[in-house]
């Protein structure tokens, strides 16, 4: 995604399952680009508006620009803004999260944005992060798909990566080494349940540490992982419903 912005490629798409950390990546990209004086970034956490006129207003507002009432006027205002940025030596980035929720009409609107260009370069780069159902949604949008210059996918973590992630989060929280808390059989048990999805890993481990604290069990093992899963399965109010993926 950074490459797409640096090279002014026009349109880049990053997909991944629910809970893989796409919004975390979007936030990190915004921080990175905000600190780059050669870029102007607008971040849309979601764009569920239905019409092109409303979408263009949302984009202009995200760049801190005034808007008009009609689609045509907003399109002209956006083009003028992009040209002004180009003349100032800046490249605008439109960072769009939850891209799977963009209406079919505005998929076409985004395609049209990539038509804003000079003879040498694109005037804007759109970076879209979306769930894995986006490709299905794009089946009837040949123009959009043909404009995707950079595509990436976030795959679930493997066991080694998951172990490293848990160790890192413990360290950041001020804790000790991984071996100070987990018996060897705990990591495979956690992985078999979460399948490497970071959000599920965090939710399960949080519950696991609480369970260990309540039971005065310093070392967390596979048996406690299983007990924690069973308790979570009976609870209907968890922010993420952990399911037993081993079945």
DSSP calls for 102-161:
S-HHHHHHHHHHTT-B-SS-BS-EEEEEEETTHHHHGGG-HHHHHH--EEEE-PPP-HHH
At residue 29, does pLDDT exceed 50? yes
At residue 175, does pLDDT exceed 70? yes
Structure token pair of residue 38: 């050669």
**Digit-coded pLDDT (tens) for 43-102:** 999 888 989 999 999 999 999 999 998 999 999 999 999 999 999 999 999 999 999 999
Q: Which of 88, 103, 109 is nearest to 40 (CA)?
A: 88
**Digit-coded pLDDT (tens) for 112-143:** 999 999 988 999 999 999 999 999 989 999 99
Q: What is the pLDDT of residue 183?
A: 95
pLDDT exceeding 90 applies to what percent of the chain?
86
User: Which one is the CATH code of 2-153: 3.40.50.970, 3.10.580.10, 3.40.50.300, 1.20.1510.10?
Assistant: 3.40.50.300
Band (233; pLDDT cuts 50, 70, 90) = confident
pLDDT exceeding 70 applies to what percent of the chain?
95
Q: What is the mean pLDDT of the chain?
A: 92
Fold of domain 159-234: Helicase, Ruva Protein; domain 3 (1.10.8)
Q: What is the pLDDT of residue 230?
A: 86
Q: What is the pLDDT of residue 237?
A: 45
Mean pLDDT, to the nearest integer, of 133-157? 93
CATH 3.40.50.300 spans which residues of the chain?
2-153
CATH 1.10.8 spans which residues of the chain?
159-234
């Amino acid at each position: 995604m950074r490459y797409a912005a640096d090279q002014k490629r026009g349109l880049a798409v990053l997909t991944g399952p629910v809970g893989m950390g796409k919004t975390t990546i979007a936030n990190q990209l915004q921080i990175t680009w905000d600190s780059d004086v050669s870029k102007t970034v607008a971040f849309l956490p979601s764009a569920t508006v239905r019409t092109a006129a409303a979408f263009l207003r949302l984009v202009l507002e995200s760049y801190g620009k005034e808007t008009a009432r009609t689609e045509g006027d907003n399109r002209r205002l956006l083009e003028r803004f992009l040209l002004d940025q180009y003349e100032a030596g800046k490249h605008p980035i439109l960072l769009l999260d939850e891209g799977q929720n963009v209406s079919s009409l505005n998929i076409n609107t985004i395609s049209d944005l990539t038509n804003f260009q000079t003879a040498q370069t694109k005037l804007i780069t759109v970076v879209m992060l979306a769930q894995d159902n986006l490709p299905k949604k794009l089946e009837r949008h040949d123009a959009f798909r043909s404009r995707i210059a950079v595509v990436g996918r976030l795959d679930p973590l493997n066991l080694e990566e998951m172990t490293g992630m848990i160790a890192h989060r413990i360290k950041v929280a001020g804790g000790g080494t991984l071996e100070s808390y987990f018996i060897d059989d705990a990591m495979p048990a956690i992985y078999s349940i979460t399948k490497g999805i970071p959000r599920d890993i965090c939710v399960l481990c949080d519950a696991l540490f609480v369970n260990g604290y309540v039971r005065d069990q310093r070392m967390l093992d596979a048996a406690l992982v299983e007990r924690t899963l069973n308790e979570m399965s009976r609870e209907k109010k968890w922010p993420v419903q952990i399911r037993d993926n081993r079945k």
